[in-house]
Each structure stands twice: as C-alpha cells, then as structure tokens.
Amino acid sequence: MKFIYHGHSCVQLETNGKSLVIDPFLRGNELAVIKPEDIKTDVILLTHAHTDHILDAEPIAKSNQIPIVAVVELATYLAGKGLQTIDMNLGGTVDLEFCKATMIQAFHSSSIQLEEGQIIYGGNPAGFIIRAEGLTILHAGDTALFGDMKMIGERYDIDVAFLPIGDHYTMGPEDALLAAQWFGAKLTIPVHYNSFSIIRQDALAFVQQLEAQGQQGRVLAPGDSFEVKVGNK
C-alpha cells in the first residue's frame, strides 16, 4: 500500500490498483505541491464539512467522475450540487471493492459556509478505519482527545495512524501523544499542522516524543510518499 501526503489532512492511499483521497484541500493550502486537476483517484472520503477538508472534493470528483463518501448530511448537500455520493454514518462500513472504510467517531464540529455567509449543519464529524491488503489504516479526522480512542485501539490492530497535532482547532501535540498511545498504531503520522499560522507545530519534536514513549512516528512534507506491506509493517 502506498501513501501520499498532500498536506494539511489530505492523504492519498493507493492499494489493489486503485486509489482513494481523504479530505482534499489543495488550492487553499500554500504548502501543497499538487493541484486538484492533477489528482487521479477512484473515490474521495470526507471526514467532515469544513472548508479545509472539502474545498477540492468537487473539482476532483468531477474530473475523475468518481463518488464522494461522506456522512449523510454532507453527502446530501454534495448530491444537491450534482455530485455522485455514497452516504453513510458513524459505525457503518462501506465496501469500495478495493478496500473497506468504516466511519468512526471524532469530537469536533462540522458545518458548511455558503457563499452568502450562511452556515448550515454538515452532519457529525468522523474519522475512518480503512482496511485493505491485510493492513488497517486510521485517519482520525479533526478531533479532540476522547476516551473511546482506547476502545478503537483495542477493537482494531492499527498499522498506520494519521493524527492531527495542530492544536487550537483540534488536539495539540500533548493530547495527540496520548491518543497515539491509546490507538496503538505501529506507525503514527502527524497531520493538520503548519497550514495556517495558528496551528504551527514542531512535527519532528512530536515524532521524537512518540519514539520516547516507545512508538514509531514519521514526519511527511507535502508530496512525500512511502509504502507499507503486510510483511514489513
């Protein structure tokens, strides 16, 4: 399985000859090194409705003629814009043929700001557990620390976890370290930091602290990629 980090919370997974993109936010992120029109993928997964997670879902979905997987309220909104969607909700699993994606809980908010400034409800925020090639991947979405992370870590044997560390809008590094401990992933990768001044963090220091508590971490710059196989996880 190949992972490509596009910056902020946008992660692309390539597995079984297919690809999925989570939370595409490229045009609004000055650190991104790829444009929406250059993304080739088979499906988009959205954790919640905030602009810095859905901004480029529409152009990518249209150019690739692919579905967007999202919580019911967000999927309904996007379907109203003429996009192909797969709606689901917390606890549910969608079979995408090349992988399975389970929607898990996140503690955050979720809303859509319309052009005229009106804010509408975007459904519950979420994270995803993605399973393919014998691997289990966690994308936590935007979240605060919460106790059921322990249960999720016990329920799933997580190989790679993408956790927000930016603080202010999500948990910061201190809480993310505890979340990493509870999830128990074999590899933890920090996301959702440095895209804006208010969420600047030292990702290398976070990874060093992960290693100090006996866990493996990795810092990725936008455009970086790596591969994981069942035999070398």
We report the CATH number of the domain holding residue 132 as 3.60.15.10
Specify if 220 maps to a domain: no
Tens digits of per-residue pLDDT, 88-118?
Answer: 999 999 999 999 999 999 999 999 999 888 9
Tens digits of per-residue pLDDT, 129-149?
Answer: 999 999 999 999 999 999 999
Quote the CA–CA distance of 191 and 217 in Å, as a whole number: 12
Specify if 9 maps to a domain: yes
**Per-residue pLDDT, 231:** 63
Average pLDDT over residues 171-192: 98
Give the predicted TM-score (pTM) of the model. 0.97
**Per-residue pLDDT, 46:** 99
Specify if 223 maps to a domain: no
Question: What proportion of the chain, given as a percentage, has pLDDT over 70?
Answer: 99
Specify if 7 maps to a domain: yes
**How high is the mean pLDDT of the chain?**
97
123 token code pair: 């459904």
**Per-residue pLDDT, 42:** 98
Q: Strand, coil or helix: what is 124?
A: coil
Tens digits of per-residue pLDDT, 48-78?
Answer: 999 999 999 999 999 999 999 999 999 999 9
For residue 233, is pLDDT > 80? no
Range of the domain at 24: 2-214
Q: What's the structural domain count of the chain?
A: 1
Buried b / exposed e along 73-105 (16+ C-beta atoms within 10 A): bbbebbbeeebebbbbeeeeebebebbebbbbb
For residue 194, is pLDDT > 80? yes
Nearest residue to 173 via CA among 155, 193, 153, 159: 193
**Per-residue pLDDT, 180:** 98
**Per-residue pLDDT, 230:** 80
Residues forming beta bridges with residue 100, ordered by sequence position: 95, 131
Q: Strand, coil or helix: what is 211?
A: helix
Nearest residue to 46 via CA among 58, 38, 28: 58
